[in-house]
Amino acid sequence: MKLVLETKNINKHFRKPNDFHVLKDISFRIKKGEFTSIMGKSGSGKSTLLYILSTMDTDYTGELYLNGQLVTGKPHEELSTIRNKHIGFVFQFHYLLSEFSVLENVMLPAKKLAEKSHVEIEYGAMEKLEMLHIGHLANQRASRISGGEKQRVAIARALINNPSILMCDEPTGNLDSHNSENVFNIFKRLKEEEGLSLLVVTHDEDFAKRTDRIIQMEDGRIIS
């Protein structure tokens, strides 16, 4: 089975205010099409790990492979392109650009990638929005829609460049149970229908239990 993500002995220290060993020898693999969740208490280092995996945090030791390619040590410009093309990201707080319309928010990463024409991008973005049942919001301002809708827009944006892996930081942490259920179903469908790999950091045990695999973390180590 092909690997999407692999880490070898990742260690990270927070140096301020005093030295703190957050991640200790993290090594694991995620196969293509796998729906994985990372669980652990606050302070166990799961979010920190996710940001390293997302290539946004480069201050660590060890090796990170994406699609079999070593990512560690690449210059920032290149990492931006990798993020743009291969990684979709969904945050706990929906983090849309509030001055832009929903459609523009979704289109932005694809415009940055600039592999398709404007019309194709717009078509693709509409497709993603329709798939998440929010096509009717396309021309609304991003600041004018509800929290659950925002989260779905954020998912559509993360999917626009057809990434290799979707990473989510507490995607349901801020949503009520109805919307949480909704988001989970979307993820499930994406995995089953599109064969997308997912890595979700969550506190929500019910959510985690229904994923393919749970990575438990405690005090900076993977315990199961």
Cβ 19 to another protein shortest distance, Å:
17
Q: Site mask, another protein, residues 18-47, x = CB under 8 A?
A: -----------------------------x
Question: Is 60 near another protein (CB under 8 A)?
Answer: no
Question: Is 144 near another protein (CB under 8 A)?
Answer: no
Q: Look at residue 61 and give its three-state secondary structure.
A: strand
For 25: left if phi > 0, alpha if psi spans -120 to 50, otherwise beta; the answer is left
Distances (CA, A) of 138 to 87, 93, 126, 169, 188: 23, 20, 7, 24, 24
Query: Which one of 35, 157, 204, 211 is in contact with another protein (CB under 8 A)?
Result: 157
Question: Is 51 near another protein (CB under 8 A)?
Answer: yes
Which residues contact residue 181 at a Cβ distance below 8 angstroms, ignoring those fewer than 6 apart? Answer: none
Give me 103's structure tokens.
């459609």
Query: Which one of 19, 73, 77, 139 is in contact with another protein (CB under 8 A)?
Result: 77
Segment interacting with another protein, rule: CB under 8 A, options 60-68, 77-85, 125-133, 193-201: 77-85
Distances (CA, A) of 201 to 71, 96, 144, 145, 223: 21, 20, 27, 25, 15
The bridge status of strand 165-169 relative to strand 87-90 is parallel
Question: Is 109 near another protein (CB under 8 A)?
Answer: yes
Question: Is 210 near another protein (CB under 8 A)?
Answer: no
Binding site for another protein (CB under 8 A): 47, 51, 54, 56-57, 76-77, 80-81, 83-85, 89, 91, 95-100, 108-109, 111-114, 157-158, 161, 169
